[in-house]
Amino acid sequence: SSIFAAVEMAPRDPILGITEAFNADSRTHKVNLGVGVYYDDNGKLPLLAAVKAAEKARLDAMPARGYQPIEGLAAYNQAVQNLVFGKDSPLLANGQVITIEALGGTGALKIGADYLKRLVPGAKVYISDPSWENHRALFESAGFEVGTYAYYDAATRGVNFAAMKASLNAMAPNAVVVLHACCHNPTGADLTDAQWQEVVQIIKAKNLIAFIDMAYQGFAEGIDADAVALKLFAASGLQYFVSSSFSKSFSLYGERVGALSIVTASKEESARVLSQVKRVVRTNYSNPPTHGGAIVAAVLSSPELRQQWEDELAGMRERIRAMRIALVEKLKAHGHDFAFVAQQRGMFSYTGLTAQQVERLKDEFGIYAVSTGRICLAALNTRNIDHVADAIAQVLK
Ligand code: PMP
């Protein structure tokens, strides 16, 4: 008999499953709020003008496609470091940061997780409750036991910071703490600057290892403002991991552009750590693809394209913000207080809608959301927001 005869069907990815159902829906007024991508006001996935310009120049140059170094394009890695740590960071001047090009934020997390498993094999990994659903799976597949730390407070639709601190304080030394730098996925609830400062202090006092996931730099307040956690960690003297993703900020989802950075104690330590991380990459996919990293590097290192990109990123950020405010106002007109939606940041909101209400949104109104009540604000636009607000008001009755 077949070697696959006893293979069971794996569960469907919960979020991609929503999109499959959405695509099969023939209602014209349907809206997919279940996605994790930014759409423009026409409901279209944008191709940024800065990206288009960089791609055109690259196409004109017709570069040959040799192998990249295991760690990826040097110009890209340096541009990422400058963006994430700030180009004047003493960490960079001291050679305390290694950065490798990775296959999206997911790829960065995966390489970081595999390397951590070699570095601290017995450590436990903690993710926020709740977190991006792939965090648990990624670290479990690297061989870690994964637990959660308290984070979201359903009563305030914000962060239960006292509970979060209690969770962190209860962790054993060397525990790995996965933190969302900004625009927390799925809740939209972020820490304040002062709370970040406390988190850094606890991580230091308890000898924990921070793994900061930065998938949405520039989507909350701006490129620098969204890196506040990074600045506080930089000042701490700690060693830590950072995964970056340019899927959203460059709208380059399918090109798989991300990076893993690791902060060490010295330049000499960096060389040794990089050599080990390269072994992890070599046995996974050998070296990263060329196109996406080359485009991001070209945009970030050209003053004109960089300005254009920053303007386009600001446009995405401001459009999401406008949709948040509009949704709050429209629901207020229906007698519902959703002010928390304007406090939350990034692409997502935990709305507090129940699984049953989400089901009704789909069945009665063709509006798809995640059963946890997560909606993507970046899928709202001036043409569908009234339908969405009216529908939410209906299911709240
Ligand atoms: N981390 C978080 C918190 C995310 O939301 C995402 C993407 N949805 C990722 C990582 C992965 O990013 P990428 O698509 O670049 O792999």
Q: Tell me the CA–centroid distance for residue 105 and ligand 1, in Å.
A: 5
The rounded Å distance from CA 243 to ligand 1 centre is 9
Catalytic residue check, 196: no
Residue-wise pLDDT for 279-295, tens only, equals: 999 999 999 999 999 99
State the catalytic residue, choosing from 132, 196, 278, 362: 132
Residue 246 and residue 214: Cα distance in Å, rounded? 9
- Residue 108 CA to residue 141 CA, distance in Å, equals 14
Which residues, other chains included, contact 27 with Cβ-Cβ below 8 Å and sequence gap of 6+?
A: 366
Closest-CA residue to 364 (of 43, 29, 72) = 29
Candidate list 110, 114, 190, 248, residue with the active-site label: 248
Position of tokens 């990249």? 68
The answer to whether the CB of 215 is under 6 A from ligand 1 is yes
Q: Is the CB–ligand 1 distance for residue 251 below 6 Å? A: no
Among 245, 285, 349, 376, the mutation site with the greatest number of ligand 1 atoms within 8 A of its Cβ is 245
Q: Is the CB of 106 under 6 A from ligand 1?
A: yes
| Closest C-alpha to ligand 1, atom 1 | 215
**Residue 97 pairs with which residues in a beta bridge?**
263
pLDDT averages per 10-residue partition of the chain, 397 residues: 96 85 94 95 97 97 95 98 96 98 98 98 98 96 98 95 98 98 97 98 98 97 96 97 98 98 98 98 97 98 98 98 98 96 96 96 97 96 97 96
Pocket mutation for ligand 1, best pick of 182, 185, 252 (most atoms within 8 Å of C-beta): 185
User: Nearest Cα to 390, choosing from 318, 315, 326, 334?
Assistant: 334
Does the beta carbon of 258 sit less than 6 angstroms from any atom of ligand 1?
yes
Identify whether 213 is a catalytic site residue: yes
Query: According to the model, what pLDDT value does residue 15 have?
Result: 82
Minimum CA distance residue for ligand 1 atom 12:
105
Contacts of residue 75, defined as CB under 8 A and 6 or more positions apart, other chains included, come to: 297, 301
Respond yes or no: is residue 30 known to be catalytic.
no
**152-153 and 145-150: which strand pairing?**
unpaired
Ligand 1 center–CA 107 separation, angstroms = 9
Give the tokens for residue 166.
Answer: 């209690």
CA atoms within 13 A on the CB side of 80: 36
Which atom belonging to ligand 1 lies closest to the Cα atom of 213?
1
**Contact predicate 300/306, CB 8 Å:** yes
pTM of this structure: 0.97
Characterize 342-362 residue by residue with b for buried, 16 or more Cβ atoms within 10 angstroms of its Cβ, and e for exposed.
Answer: eebbbbbbbbebeeebbebbb
Give the ligand 1 atom nearest the CA of 107. Answer: 16
* CB distance 176 to 211 below 8 Å: yes
245 lines ligand 1 (CB under 6 A): yes
DSSP conformation class of 4: T
